[in-house]
Amino acid sequence: MKLLFIGDIVGEPGRRCIQKMLPELRRRLDLDFVVANGENSAGGSGITTATAGEIFGAGVDVITSGDHLWDQKEVTRLLDDEPRFLRPLNYPEGTPGRGSAVFVARNGQKVGVLNLQGRTFMPVLENPFPAAASAVEILRQQTGVIMLDMHAEATSEKIAMGRFLDGKASLVAGTHTHVQTADEQIFPGGTAYISDVGFTGPHESVLGREIEPVIRRFVTNMPQKFGVASDRILLQGCVVDIDETTGRSRSIQRLSEKF
């Protein structure tokens, strides 16, 4: 089966990009299942029911999130009412929403999707490693095809998670830094890995934001409003070919296409 994971969708440009490009990508790449990180889809910070609706309407099957989860107050409605929206699993018990679930792809294959947040240089949550081990064990009772969105800052933490789950997950892919890395590979146990899939939105920017306010912030240390940029929009992510019988990945390919 073919799975596409789309990197962080940033603001209206990112949403418009997937609305226009994803239907054609589904046909051209013969995609069975699409996951996207949507935590920056609402004005570049957080997600709302409306922006989630646009993303699902474009053809995304599951939306994951990360440290900007709570930036829009209406996210609680998504957490309570939308089973296709995941938050990082390693929040404390009792937090609204869920961090993993099994879904059905267009070809009928069951796919387990897991969302975790790292702890290095990030807001401190529960340890993602035992959380990952427990969740994967539960998901594997229903399917061998499992993907993880590892939303984390430190490359070492992401690689360690990939190695930790090698042979247990089909894909471990990083998000959060918005810079696509060139280290895509298949680990010995059959797990596809990439440290960061990049972001979907305006790349004539600083990580999707207007350039000058960010520079002023670094130069002056004074607060600035970081508006979403608008130019050179790219759709970034990775495409993984997975053996449905074993759950092992056959290949992983970076995707970076201009809108």
What is the C-alpha to C-alpha distance for residues 251 and 194, in angstroms, rounded to an integer?
12
Residue 37 CB burial class (10 angstroms; 0-12, 13-18, ≥19): buried
User: Which residue intervals of 71-221 are DSSP H helices?
Assistant: 75-81, 128-139, 155-164, 211-220
**Residue 203 catalytic?**
no
Residue of 259, 207, 237, 203 whose CA lies nearest to 37: 237
Identify the H or E element spanning 59: none
d(CA 147, CA 136): 9
Closest CA to 199 of 82, 110, 68: 68
Per the listing, tokens 């267009």 go with 106
Q: Which residue of the set 68, 151, 178, 203 is catalytic?
A: 68
174: β partners: 150
Single-letter amino acid code for the residue at 80: D
The encoded tokens of residue 41 equal 């889809």
Using an 8 Å Cβ cutoff, are 197 and 177 in contact?
no
Q: What residues act catalytically?
A: 68
